Structure 1
Amino acid sequence: MYHLTALVTLLAIAFYFFTSINVSRARTSTGIKVPATSGHPDFERAFRIQMNTLEWMPIFLPSLWLFAVYIGDATAAGIGAVWIIGRIVYFIGYSKAAAKRGPGFAIQVLAAFALWVGALGAVVLRMV
């Protein structure tokens, strides 16, 4: 069973849902009407946070699960939790200014890369 990895998956989805709500709030507070995706810096930053999170989910989630299956649930969940923390740091920084998004982005990239490399290595080792 992969209870910890499942929990991290649900937390990642909850965070993405939160970013979606944040975009809706930003639309309301800045007056940006659907379907526009630009027009006010506060809205544009909120929108990019949501979209960047979405762009990383197809890299993060399969890597997380393959790592869990081939290496271990607890380790995958731990690295996955670091990815979520990185996304939160990214959210906080980017919400203030685009130039402040770097540290959170770096944390989540390193976590995603660790999951992907670990999963790839484990799969290849099992094949040889």
Structure 2
Amino acid sequence: MYHLTALVTLLAIAFYFFATINVSRARARTGIKVPATSGHPDFERAFRIQVNTLEWMPIFLPSLWLFAIYISDALAAGIGALWIVGRIVYFIGYSQAAAKRGPGFLIQAIAAIALWVGAIGAAVSRLV
């Protein structure tokens, strides 16, 4: 069973939901009306955090699950938890200033790439 990977998946979705709510709150706080996606730096940073998280989820989630299936539920969940930590660090840094987004981005990118490399390596090794 993949209980740990399922938990990490749900936590990742919860983080994305939080980022989405943060965009709505930033709209209200800055007066940016739908459908505008620019106009105030605080809103634009909140919007980019949410969209960047969405951009990474199709890389992260399948890689997470394939890694869990082919290699290890616990190891996938650990690396997946690191991805979430990276997203949180990214959120905190980018919320303050665009220049502060780098460390969180690096953490989550390394985690996602590790999951993808592990998953593809395991899948290919089973073909040979």
Give the TM-score taking structure 2 as reference length.
1.00
Q: Quote the residue 1:75 is aligned against.
A: 75
Q: Quote the residue 2:39 is aligned against.
A: 39
Residues 1-128 of structure 1 correspond to what in structure 2 (within 5 A)?
A: 1-128=1-128
Q: How far is 1:49 from its partner?
A: 0.1
Provide, for residues 17-65 of structure 1, a one-character-per-residue CA deviation record: whole Å limited to 9, x for no partner: 0000000000000000000000000000000000000000000000000
In structure 1, how many angstroms separate the alpha carbons of the residues matched to 2:87 and 2:43?
18
SS of the residue corresponding to residue 26 of structure 1 reads: helix
In structure 1, how many angstroms separate the alpha carbons of the residues matched to 2:39 and 2:108?
28
Q: How far is 1:122 from its partner?
A: 0.3
Q: Which residue identity lines up with residue 8 of structure 2 in the other structure?
A: V
Unaligned runs of 5+ in 2: none
SS of the residue corresponding to residue 86 of structure 2 reads: helix
How many residues are matched? 128
Task: Provide the alpha-carbon RMSD of the alignment.
Answer: 0.2
- Which contiguous aligned blocks of 4+ residues in structure 1 show a shift greater than 6 angstroms? none
Q: Which residue identity lines up with residue 89 of structure 1 in the other structure?
A: V
Q: Which residue identity lines up with residue 82 of structure 1 in the other structure?
A: L
In structure 1, how many angstroms separate the alpha carbons of the residues matched to 2:43 and 2:54?
17
In structure 1, how many angstroms separate the alpha carbons of the residues matched to 2:69 and 2:9?
14
Unaligned runs of 5+ in 1: none
In structure 2, how many angstroms separate the alpha carbons of the residues matched to 1:35 and 1:109?
29
